[in-house]
Amino acid sequence: MALMVAVAACSSSGSAGTTGAAPSGINALPEVVSNPPAPKPEPISVSELPLPPVTTNTASGGCTVAVNPHGTGCIGQSVGLQSGGYLPDGHAVSAMVSFAGAPAAPDPASVYAGPQIIIVRTDGTTFPGGDAWKCVTCGVPAANQAGRNEALDYPQPFNDGKRILAGTNVIDCGSFKLADTGCAPGRVHVYPVRFNNTADGSGKGGSIRELRLNPDNVHLGFNSFTFSGGAIGQFGYLGRLTFNPNPTTGTPLAARYDLTSVTRLFDTATDKQTVYVDPAHPGQLTINRNAISVGELRGFSKDGKEVTYIGYPDESSNIDVFAADLTTGKVRRLTSNPEYTDPIDLSPDGDWTVAMDTRGSDRQEFLAGMRGIPPITDLVTPGAVSSVRNNGTRRFFQPILIDRYGDRGTYQGQQINAAGDGSPGAVNDPNWNGEADPRWSPDGTAVVYWQALATPPACGGANPLTCETSTEPGGRTARLMIATFTSRKPAPAPTVAPISDTVPWGTPYVPGSPIPTRPFPPTGSYTLAGAKTGTAAVTITENAAKTAIDTIAVRYTNYSDDGLRTLNGTEKVTAAAPSLTVSKLDWYSDLTQTGITPSTKKTSPDGFHLTIDLLTNDFQATGTMTTTINGHAYHQPQNST
């Protein structure tokens, strides 16, 4: 789950899977002259990978030999699935599932219970015993997992084929590869990962989330929440995984991996922020398009040299993914479509991105459809704006293939699973939504991703979104998919050298030191000059405690950054945080844009008032916001129930 903190931070509709014309509803940016022509659509074959058999009786003993004659466990209809990455040989992928219906001990099958890590064959072969999957963590002795952490999310294999990062644990089969018959439960160890947050090394360590393994297998990227000023925040970090066989401080006092040489991927300097006051001209705002703003770390390039992250918007209300070189700090924008992008993976050769994106759903267009608005109100809105992407547990992601140069002109990527009739269970069934972290094969010819079927209460009943009955085996509501790029030739996986511990643009982390706050422009009246023409008059008001911005008001007068679109009108947003995870916005917009894409963004006379929990994505709004592009109106989604 991604979270873009406000202060801290389906195919393209109309032409699914094509690149020759702008999809209907997409307000494309002008072509960048220096970019090569957009790639043509390529052939893609999508199929489903096998999972353990499903039992509808999840009580003890419900997984009978009639359901699984091999006695190797069952899953329930809810599956508990989360796919991971490829093992280095390219013939299997990691995944998390939740086993159900196991018999009681001492039955040997009793070990197939609860959340576990499995590896799944992608080449049509089976493991000894006849299953296309193998459980790695089932039956691991308690002595081999002392101090382990409960969560097993985002299972990411190491390049040695012997270890998997899962949650805040490293699963290790010693000298054996995970897929080998010699990798039996008694040889598997589960070691916790600890992030020290005290000066003397005491305590259980800091809470970390959304871990991503660097391809060098030495470094780890992760995120950690902050709680200050009555609001939730977050920073991204990079650290070295250091095995500690006999720790003497901190808990657990068991063999573990410690995060050492940690860098917070943030610089507190005012001029390193995206929006700041020009120190030479105190009445002027500056927008630094090259600023590195890691709202949430999402992964790395396959050479390990770039970090990918959800960044501060480049255009107002448009949540995108960026990449920054860990040494030089050079930033590139990987996506720019107005819809929301979050989970991504970069190809082994670095030339392609596969992104889970809401494009085609029109979920975000009412907020972000008008292009080229400078990201000023985004000083207070990103947390709420990014949370609109889901309807509770229902996501609107579909996997999109985008070349290195990103969305541009009429090119808005290619939907990977576009081929299909959209019927229940089809690969492009809109009720089957993409989930986190698609992953490239080591040879660059395939991508594995997973989907979940919308289920109540995120659909059906009073909810405006309908439900459908699963067509999957046993009625399960999650599935593991593989997309093969049939015209591509396999290429050797890159050899990755260890990256440096030092990130020059970050800040070395000192355990126990105060957590910084993100600078923001203080109360005052400012002017932002358009790069081509016009100005924006900006008024900023802080809250009473001066811990955050309370209100931003902007008046645009013939404002243009590209010379192709001219913006006039007003926008005002007041933000509040009724609780740590809830964001409340009172938004008033009356914007008109002329030029290559005539557009308006208008709220009802009483304004648009949104209250949304950043963790549950329960959309509740009064009033309206409507963005109209070339005569096509985009409206907000209906309230969740």
Domain co-membership, 248 together with 316: no
328 Cβ neighbours under 8 A, 6+ residues apart: none
pLDDT, residue 640, reads 82
Does residue 253 sit within a domain? yes
Q: Please write the tens of the pLDDT for every residue from 111-134.
A: 999 999 999 999 999 999 999 999
Question: What is the average pLDDT score of the chain?
Answer: 93
Q: Please write the tens of the pLDDT for every residue from 612-641.
A: 998 899 899 999 999 999 999 999 999 987
Backbone angles phi, psi at 73, to 5 degrees: 95, 160
Question: For residue 28, what pLDDT band results from cuts at 50, 70 and 90?
Answer: low
Domain co-membership, 236 together with 336: no
Which residue type is seen at 80? G
Domain co-membership, 343 together with 384: yes
Domain co-membership, 87 together with 98: yes
Instruction: Say if strands 446-453 and 44-49 run parallel, antiparallel, or are unpaired.
Output: unpaired
Query: Residue 110 pLDDT more than 50?
Result: yes
Instruction: Say if strands 133-135 and 331-333 run parallel, antiparallel, or are unpaired.
Output: unpaired
Query: Residue 230 pLDDT more than 90?
Result: no
Query: Residue 27 pLDDT more than 80?
Result: no
Q: What is the CATH number for 461? A: 2.120.10
pLDDT, residue 254, reads 97
Q: Give CA–CA dist 250/421, Å, rounded.
A: 56
Does residue 473 sit within a domain? yes
Residue that is last in its domain, among 485, 517, 549:
485
pLDDT, residue 615, reads 87
Does residue 571 sit within a domain? no
Domain co-membership, 112 together with 251: yes
Alpha helices in 36-81 (DSSP H): none
Site of tokens 């093992």:
87
Provide the number of structural domains found in the chain. Answer: 2
Question: For residue 9, what pLDDT band results from cuts at 50, 70 and 90?
Answer: very low
pLDDT, residue 36, reads 87
Average pLDDT over residues 201-211: 97
Query: Residue 30 pLDDT more than 80?
Result: no
Query: Residue 550 pLDDT more than 60?
Result: yes
pLDDT, residue 91, reads 97
Domain co-membership, 176 together with 289: no
Does residue 586 sit within a domain? no
Domain co-membership, 253 together with 274: no
Query: Residue 22 pLDDT more than 90?
Result: no
Q: Give CA–CA dist 355/108, Å, rounded.
A: 41
Rg (CA), the chain: 25
Average pLDDT over residues 278-298: 95
Does residue 20 sit within a domain? no
Q: Please check whether residue 385 is in contact with residue 12, taking contact to mean a CB–CB distance below 8 angstroms.
A: no
User: 195, 197, 74: which is closest to 135 by C-alpha?
Assistant: 74
pLDDT, residue 3, reads 41
Q: Please check whether residue 262 is in contact with residue 238, taking contact to mean a CB–CB distance below 8 angstroms.
A: yes
Query: Residue 18 pLDDT more than 60?
Result: no
Residue that is last in its domain, among 457, 485, 513:
485
Query: Residue 341 pLDDT more than 50?
Result: yes
Domain co-membership, 249 together with 275: no
Q: Please write the tens of the pLDDT for every residue from 130-143.
A: 999 999 999 999 99
Q: Please write the tens of the pLDDT for every residue from 134-170.
A: 999 999 999 999 999 999 999 999 999 999 999 999 9
Does residue 516 sit within a domain? no
Domain co-membership, 167 together with 289: no
208 half-sphere exposure, CB direction, 13 A CA radius = 29
Average pLDDT over residues 235-252: 98
Domain co-membership, 375 together with 466: yes
Q: Please write the tens of the pLDDT for every residue from 476-530.
A: 999 999 999 999 999 999 899 999 999 999 999 999 999 999 999 999 999 999 9
Question: For residue 29, what pLDDT band results from cuts at 50, 70 and 90?
Answer: low
Q: Please check whether residue 156 is in contact with residue 220, taking contact to mean a CB–CB distance below 8 angstroms.
A: no
pLDDT, residue 7, reads 29
Query: Residue 8 pLDDT more than 70?
Result: no
Residue that is last in its domain, among 451, 485, 519:
485
Does residue 386 sit within a domain? yes
Site of tokens 């259980």:
204
Q: Please check whether residue 436 is in contact with residue 395, taking contact to mean a CB–CB distance below 8 angstroms.
A: no
Query: Residue 605 pLDDT more than 60?
Result: yes
The length of the chain in residues reads 641
pLDDT, residue 5, reads 37
Query: Residue 573 pLDDT more than 70?
Result: yes
Query: Residue 15 pLDDT more than 80?
Result: no
Q: Give the residue numbers spanning the domain of 153.
A: 48-263+498-502
Domain co-membership, 409 together with 331: yes
Does residue 393 sit within a domain? yes
Question: For residue 581, what pLDDT band results from cuts at 50, 70 and 90?
Answer: confident
Question: For residue 33, what pLDDT band results from cuts at 50, 70 and 90?
Answer: low
Domain co-membership, 279 together with 248: no
Q: Give CA–CA dist 209/151, Å, rounded.
A: 10
Q: Please write the tens of the pLDDT for every residue from 315-325.
A: 999 999 999 99
